[in-house]
Amino acid sequence: MDDDLIQGWRAVDDYLVDTLVDEDDTLRQARAASHAAGLPPIEVAANQGAFLALLVRLVSGRRVLEVGTLGGYSTIWLGRAVGPTGRVVTLEVDPHHAEVARANLERAGLGAVAQVVLGPAVDSLDALIAARPEPFDLVFIDADKQNNARYLAAALRLTRPGSAIVIDNVVRRGAVVDPAHTDPDVLGTRAVLGLVRAEPRLTATALQTVGSKGWDGFVLALVGQPR
């Protein structure tokens, strides 16, 4: 891919963040602390975090489920959006990532709002379903792509009509269009898109994105009544 094109994407993202997005010192510190701790630099961009926060507010969300915590950068955006009486449950498989995320969330003043659940997300979701919690208003799926269809199936059991589901990284630099692709992440992405298409409770679209995170995209789905 042309380096000048990628640099242009990044420059536009930087301009939009500087112009419209309030990425404060706490968020910047969370990003820096995650990188210093050796976590991969794959957290959402600042404008994407702001987009997630806006979605929470658009659905008047007070309960959010996040599948894939990393260092908690996106969790801070979500936790601020639900407000001090809201709740974010975020699932992370890696103990080191979870430790970094908890420290970042405490530093952000969200220790009482956001709960980091350690363990394989499939198992954590099964435990949540068994506990029969109050439905979540928004679910953000941003973990291992091979299990995306399983995460979506669980999300449908943990939400209500009117809830929103966001699935990140569904374009895979264009590889998603190749039915012969053998990469497990691409196969998992194609599987979850097929499930979205077939699920009568979901009204959904997907958008390509370019920017500081490269070429990718996301699914936005609204949960409705079974048809």
Using pLDDT thresholds of 50, 70 and 90, give the confidence band for residue 225.
Answer: confident
Q: Which residues contact 144 (CB under 8 A, 6 or more apart)?
A: 68, 93, 121, 185, 188
Band the pLDDT of 2: cuts 50, 70, 90.
Answer: confident
Amino acid identity for residue 194 in this structure: G
As for how many domains the chain has, the answer is: 1
pLDDT in tens, 117-131: 999 999 999 999 999
Which CATH number characterizes residue 111's domain?
A: 3.40.50.150
Q: What is the pLDDT of residue 150?
A: 98
pLDDT in tens, 161-190: 999 999 999 999 999 999 999 999 999 999
pLDDT of residue 227: 63
Q: Given the DSSP bridges, would you call strands 202-211 and 214-223 parallel, antiparallel or unpaired?
A: antiparallel
Predicted confidence at residue 3, as pLDDT, reads 82
Determine the Cα–Cα distance for residues 47 and 57; give it in Å rounded to an integer. Answer: 15
Average pLDDT, the chain: 96
User: Residue 73 belongs to what domain range?
Assistant: 3-223
Q: What is the pLDDT of residue 1?
A: 66
92-120: per-residue pLDDT in tens?
999 999 999 999 999 999 999 999 999 99
